[in-house]
């Protein structure tokens, strides 16, 4: 049978969509290989959120082209956001055989066959209402899985390429989401993350996201349920109260703030003020006292002044996020922010990002030190790649290195005995049999 290799760049949604591609191709008679030299088809799932991600993918594409020259009939394909954004240029300028946008993965077997029959330079980038309801991707991790509940975005933040490459918001029927989640649980998955560009925009008739969350969590009481990502504008008490009532919904919330400055938030088209964001954080902590809060922050946005940046640092200090994904503004062609003036210099943007990272790293380290000597329930995900222990995940989505005898999928209760750098390390008690559950 023909073999395919897939390299994935970008967000959790791209990881999920690579799973869709795996299912589509396996149903068509392909088998996956982890050795690119053994593959008949070389595919790349790409990201366009930042320029750096695109440059990495283009560099990897050069490697794929070199491998193509070694075997007659080998096919090179670019999938996802870069495929949608660059389209024909990936064929004419970068010599890909097939270019397939986020809504066209069902056509992959046909497109590959056409290339193998002698037709090259095929581009499939129609934007449709596709949600892949009938495709049940296999997770590449036996312990945890993603389930997409909605695709696309209608927010049009001025810096963001996502609505342009992923299309408008559309939600999967609740029945389809439930069927996929149940299938994962039946296969042994113990941690499911419900995915969307903004899950709080989910709509299925009169059902909203809290209704979906309640349905999934109630049907799978032994599975940890998480979700990504939430737009601050749409967060309300109904979601938080639903989380509070459901013991297997993890008390963690990713709530991207992007900036602590009202003028910058307005230019970003975020739809909330600093004060409104802080009020929602206060509500989160009132309803869910143990909540783990994470965020995204963007510095160097056009017209950002030192005062604007200081407002962001002040907000970071005030909220005390457990973790943050921090970035410098990257111009994306086609977004409104590209027209904004004045630009922030590369030097100033880099300096601000370095300062932000310094502040947040200190806060994250302090938060993790607060776990010292605490007993936690950890889900073992697999061996630690940089340690002799195991990777365990808390209900609040923090990683702990576990020392002792256990296996992927085990739930263990153990105490954090030290902090290595900022990573908590826990020791499994000697009487492990009493602390491990399947």
Domains of the chain: 3-124 (3.40.50.12160), 144-369 (3.80.30.20), 375-437 (2.40.50.140)
Give the separation between CA 99 and CA 80, rounded to whole angstroms. Answer: 9
Q: Quick check: 433 pLDDT over 50?
A: no
Distance of CA 264 to the CA centre of its chain: 25
Closest CA to 403 of 426, 385, 380: 426
Mean pLDDT taken over the chain: 95
Distance CA 150, CA 106 (A): 18
End-to-end CA distance of the chain: 36
Q: What is the pLDDT of residues 88-118, one digit of tens each?
A: 999 999 999 999 999 999 999 999 999 999 9
Confidence band for 434, pLDDT divided at 50, 70 and 90: very low
Average pLDDT value for residue range 162-179: 96
Preceding omega of 181 cis (within 30 degrees of 0): no
- Span 295-318, average pLDDT: 98
Residue found by looking up tokens 């776990």 in the block: 371
- Look at the pTM and tell me if it is higher than 0.75: yes
Q: Output the DSSP codes for 156-176.
A: --TT--HHHHH-S-EE--HHH
Question: pLDDT tens digit string along 332-385?
Answer: 988 999 899 999 999 999 999 999 999 999 999 999 999 999 999 999 999 998
Mean pLDDT, rounded, for 424-435: 72
User: Can you tell me the mean pLDDT for 410-425?
Assistant: 93
CA angle 177, 187, 136 (to 5 degrees): 40
Sign of CA dihedral 427, 140, 243, 364: positive
| Interatomic CA distance for residues 197 and 209, integer angstroms | 13
421 contact partners, CB below 8 Å, separation of at least 6: 365
């Amino acid at each position: 049978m023909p073999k395919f290799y897939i390299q994935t760049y970008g967000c959790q949604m791209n990881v999920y969509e690579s799973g869709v591609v795996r299912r589509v191709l396996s149903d068509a008679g392909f088998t996956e290989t982890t050795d690119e030299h053994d593959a008949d088809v070389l595919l790349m799932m790409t990201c366009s959120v930042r320029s750096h991600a695109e440059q990495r993918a283009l560099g990897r594409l050069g490697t794929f082209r070199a491998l193509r020259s070694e075997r007659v009939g080998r096919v090179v394909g670019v999938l996802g956001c870069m495929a949608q954004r660059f389209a024909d240029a990936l064929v004419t300028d970068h010599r890909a055989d097939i270019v397939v946008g986020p809504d066209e993965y069902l056509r992959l077997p046909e497109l590959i066959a056409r290339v193998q029959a002698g037709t090259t330079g095929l581009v499939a980038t129609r934007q449709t209402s596709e949600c892949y309801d009938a495709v049940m991707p296999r997770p590449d991790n036996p312990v945890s899985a993603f389930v997409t509940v909605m695709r696309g975005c209608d927010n049009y933040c001025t810096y963001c390429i996502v609505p342009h490459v992923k299309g408008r918001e559309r939600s999967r029927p609740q029945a389809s989401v439930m069927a996929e989640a149940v299938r994962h649980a039946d296969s042994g998955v113990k941690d499911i993350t419900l995915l969307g560009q903004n899950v709080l925009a989910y709509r299925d008739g009169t059902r909203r996201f809290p209704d979906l969350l309640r349905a999934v969590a109630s049907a799978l009481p032994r599975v940890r349920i998480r979700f990504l990502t939430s737009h601050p504008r749409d967060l309300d008490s109904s979601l938080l109260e639903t989380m509070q009532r459901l013991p297997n919904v993890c008390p963690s919330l990713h709530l991207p703030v992007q900036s602590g400055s009202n003028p910058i938030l307005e230019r970003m088209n975020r739809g909330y003020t600093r004060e409104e964001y802080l009020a929602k954080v206060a509500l989160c902590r009132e309803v869910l006292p143990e909540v783990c809060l994470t965020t995204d922050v963007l510095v160097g946005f056009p017209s950002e002044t030192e005062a604007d940046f200081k407002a962001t640092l002040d907000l970071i200090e005030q909220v005390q996020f457990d973790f943050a994904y921090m970035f410098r503004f990257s111009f994306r062609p086609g977004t409104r922010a590209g027209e904004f003036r004045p630009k922030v210099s590369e030097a100033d943007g880099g300096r601000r990002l370095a300062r932000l990272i310094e502040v947040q790293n200190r806060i994250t380290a302090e938060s993790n030190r607060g776990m010292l000597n605490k007993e936690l329930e950890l889900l073992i995900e697999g061996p630690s790649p940089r340690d002799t222990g195991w990777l365990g995940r808390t209900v609040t989505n923090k990683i702990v290195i576990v020392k002792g005898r256990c296996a992927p999928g085990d739930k263990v209760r153990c105490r954090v005995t030290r902090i290595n750098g900022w990573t908590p390390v826990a020791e499994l008690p000697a009487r492990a049999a009493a602390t491990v559950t399947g």
